């Protein structure tokens, strides 16, 4: 029987009724959001926050972009839903626009409801195409929360769900700041990471390996832009052993790095590309896989054994087409690139001069990470791997008090505003971040 909830606050009702992701349920204290516009989010008490997180790094166009909202409204008036075996305009239009910005030889788009399903299907396609089972992924990665994706994920969120039998082999990618290869230059790191990857393949048995999946720029795991040459090296290795190269662009794609897809900055052609998030800024759940000609050909006369009731949902596809058109018409990708080079990179470097807890600033476009340390010499992280710390809790709290929404992960803060952020908004965010970092300076113990 329904209970009387009229005496409860909305926060109490939220906590009593909604089971939240990735959380111990009794410790929750969610921000109760009323509405959001552009780069600003307003809570139910009327407090406004500058969104330097793009939520989960997905609102690349900011909140409530008018032409995307209108496209959803227009589509809703015409056709809210339809079974995926039918054809309709907004789905092929979204696919065409995605292909227009993809690699030469990108043939078709398979639509899913989000990023993790895109990864599941890319893996299934690669396995069936090659007749092989093993998939390789980086330890420093996040690929989603469903069965195969969570096993591919390298970060500690995998551990509780790791059944050890998903056919996944993990390896270390290049990351000079915390090098696994004792490298001192990007070139050394690149060469040693490639050598290590190839050795792992040889010891696993190349003929067992269906695919290598790589976030082009690992996102949640720390925004590590790979050295030039690394992804080309991975492509060469894949070609040498008949392995499918899957570029996971769920977070890095659609403008985040200052290009339509991040792999375009590395002069490589993947076989499959997974996308979600920025494709429509998450206004309606959507993800998908861009499929090359060879893998499309595999399923030309053979049934692809996979599908979804909502594959290419009309509201999602209409919002994707409108998002991509808005990005094209408003120079959104160019803006992300320029803001990164002219405002964020120099601004964050200045913050690093003032706050010694910033051990490393790295990124590109509107996709930057601050690697926070208690000692620059030892690079001791401000929170242990897979955990939090009083220092990080205080810092994140200070950002909230400054009216700044920021993405935090273990010992890192990620500066990831919408691609539409203006110079003024970006500078305002950096100023708020500067004040918040001041609260955590006392945790620095190094020289």
Q: Where do contacts with ligand PLP occur on this chain (CB under 6 A)?
A: 56, 114-116, 119, 142-144, 215, 219-220, 248, 250-251, 276, 287
DSSP 371-433: EEEEETTTTEESS-TT---HHHHHHHHHHHHTTEE-EEETTEEEE---TT--HHHHHHHHHHH
Q: Is 51 exposed, middle or buried (0-12, 13-18, 19+ CB in 10 A)?
A: buried
* Closest by CA position to 218, among listed 277, 271, 140, 163: 140
Nearer residue to ligand PLP within complex by CB, 191 or 276: 276
**Could you count the other beta carbons within 10 Å of the beta carbon of residue 244?**
25
Question: Smaller CB distance to ligand PLP: residue 38 or 288?
Answer: 288
CB closer to ligand PLP out of 407 and 444: 407
Q: Give the nearest distance from C-beta 67 to ligand PLP in angstroms.
A: 23
Smaller CB distance to ligand PLP: residue 246 or 332? 246
Q: In the complex, which residue's CB is closest to ligand PLP?
A: 115
Please identify, using beta-carbon distances, which residue of 222 and 314 lies nearer to ligand PLP.
Answer: 222
- Rounded to a whole number of angstroms, the minimum distance from the CB of residue 116 to ligand PLP is 3
Residue 250: CB minimum distance to ligand PLP, A: 3
Provide the minimum distance between the beta carbon of 56 and ligand PLP in the complex, in angstroms, as a whole number: 6
- Minimum CB–partner distance for residue 308 and ligand PLP (Å): 13
Of 144, 78, 89, which is closest to residue 277 (Cα–Cα)? 144
DSSP 309-369: TTTT-HHHHHHHHHHHHHHHHTTHHHHHHHHIIIIIHHHHHHHHHH-TTEEEEEEETTEEE
Please report how close the Cβ of residue 57 comes to ligand PLP at its closest, in angstroms.
7
Closer residue to ligand PLP, CB minimum distance, 36 or 251: 251
Region for 24 from its dihedrals, namely left if φ exceeds 0, alpha if ψ lies in -120 to 50, beta otherwise: beta
């Amino acid at each position: 029987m329904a209970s009387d909830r009229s005496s409860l606050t909305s926060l109490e009702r939220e906590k009593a009724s909604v089971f939240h992701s990735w959380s111990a349920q009794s410790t929750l204290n969610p921000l109760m959001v009323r509405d959001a516009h552009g780069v600003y989010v307003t809570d139910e008490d009327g407090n406004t926050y500058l969104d330097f997180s793009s939520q989960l790094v997905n609102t690349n166009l900011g909140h409530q972009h008018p032409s995307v909202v209108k496209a959803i409204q227009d589509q809703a008036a015409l056709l809210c839903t339809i079974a995926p075996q039918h054809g309709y305009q907004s789905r092929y239009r979204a696919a065409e626009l995605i292909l227009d910005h993809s690699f030469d030889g990108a043939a078709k788009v398979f639509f899913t409801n989000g990023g993790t399903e895109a990864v599941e299907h890319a893996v299934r396609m690669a396995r069936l195409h090659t007749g092989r089972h093993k998939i390789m992924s980086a330890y420093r990665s996040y690929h989603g929360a469903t069965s195969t994706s969570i096993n591919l994920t390298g970060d500690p969120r995998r551990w509780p769900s790791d059944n050890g039998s998903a056919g996944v082999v993990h390896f270390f990618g290049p990351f000079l700041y915390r090098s696994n290869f004792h490298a001192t230059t990007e070139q050394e790191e690149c060469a040693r990471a490639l050598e290590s990857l190839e050795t792992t393949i040889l010891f696993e048995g190349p003929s067992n390996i269906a695919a290598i999946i790589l976030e082009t720029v690992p996102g949640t795991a720390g925004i590590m832009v790979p050295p030039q040459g690394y992804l080309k090296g991975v492509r060469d290795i894949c070609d040498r052993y008949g392995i499918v190269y899957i570029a996971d662009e769920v977070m890095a794609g659609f403008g985040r790095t200052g290009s339509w897809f991040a792999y375009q900055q590395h002069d490589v052609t993947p076989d499959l590309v997974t996308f979600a998030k920025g494709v429509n800024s998450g206004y309606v759940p959507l993800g998908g896989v861009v499929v090359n000609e060879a893998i499309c050909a595999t399923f030309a006369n053979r049934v692809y054994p996979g599908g979804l009731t909502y594959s290419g949902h009309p509201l999602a596809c209409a919002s994707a087409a409108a998002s991509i058109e808005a990005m094209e018409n408003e120079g959104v990708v160019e803006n992300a690139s320029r803001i990164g080079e002219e405002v964020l990179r120099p601004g964050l470097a200045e913050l690093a001069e003032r706050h010694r807890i910033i051990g490393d600033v790295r990124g590109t476009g509107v996709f930057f990470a601050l690697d926070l340390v208690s000692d620059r010499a030892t690079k001791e992280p401000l929170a242990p791997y897979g955990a939090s710390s009083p220092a990080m809790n205080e810092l994140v709290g200070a950002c909230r008090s400054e009216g700044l929404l920021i993405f935090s992960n273990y010992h890192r803060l990620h500066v990831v505003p919408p691609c539409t952020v203006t110079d003024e908004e970006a500078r305002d965010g950096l100023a708020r971040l500067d004040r918040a970092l001041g609260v955590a300076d006392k945790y620095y113990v190094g020289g």
